[in-house]
Structure 1
């Protein structure tokens, strides 16, 4: 494959994934297979993919803030909690068949998204967000578990973050995406440092992919604020179903 075609594929796919990751999540289902094809090493692909995710979250946060959204204080707490979970998750040897685990996870995702479909869409101004008491501790626990999941599986972590924030804290999906981006920034910085330490990052491919994801993240974050929760819910449902099918069949 020619270098120019390689660059074009990475940038275009990066842009598409930047949009998907910012509005819903699950974009790594596209980037990881492509990086594995180019790099020939799944661990290297996993580490390289995080370069693009890290830079994309920065542009997404900037895009949300440019539209007047403020980062909730709980974001830092959730980011630290998810990071601790991820570090623990990377050390856990899970004694369960991968195929069985994936099918259980697929069913769980479909059940959750069914509740989301039935749940009426809220406007930003009407949201009654819950950040105190049991809801605060509940979200910390949820993000700790999400971090553990991300520590050894990663794919779909952003989707679970959105589901947790919208159900536990009653956040609108648009604002949930902002919190998700902040948590991902903290979470990815920690995991990326591990991959760098073990020399499992190809900066050339990571930055090429990131160039597309950076633009996609910026544009889609601003666009999603304008369009509201309806757009985000549609994207999320599509990606949850795609993720569930992938987990069930592969």
Structure 2
């Protein structure tokens, strides 16, 4: 890895190719991977995500029908996704670390399997944690709702308020599309709701709704929350 975090794909491809040969897998060339439509689709999305995080310059980005115009590692260099060092037989290419992971996933089925397992386990863990926080919140809300016949609708109203705070909107199933950061925000808010009720800072349901409305206003600059 270079000082800027870029990874030598020249050396990496040699190691990954040797592993494929050892496993009895068909050889793959970097140029063939880059030329595939699936790689271009993923790379386009990667560029968009990195640009949003200010981690990538897009001054040389060429889009054709929302696709990257790439067919070689040199084209990646034009996008600041890669650069070369040295000349002749000593020349080596270095690629963006995110791009390296994409290539490694194509080259090494073991890495692919590990990433799928890690990602899935992380999502399951996050959603289980979110479920625990939701149960704790509902239990706390039940203590400030005198009429238990209203409890179900009151909890739905609070859940809607949380969606507005996190997403600045509410729609059915919106949490199923939540990112990890958004799920963490939901968990945090649900735990805060439970805590402020448990600690006696909020003693009635209307005060809770006002509290959530203020949080929405502070985050998004919207009018005080009105969820009826």
| TM-score by shorter chain over 0.5 | no
Considering only CA atoms, is the larger Rg found in Structure 1 or Structure 2?
2
Hey, which of these two has a bigger chunk of helix by percent? 1
Hey, which of these two has a bigger chunk of strand by percent? 2
- TM-score scaled by structure 1? 0.24
**Whose relative contact order is higher, 1 or 2, with alpha carbons under 8 Å and at least 6 apart?**
1
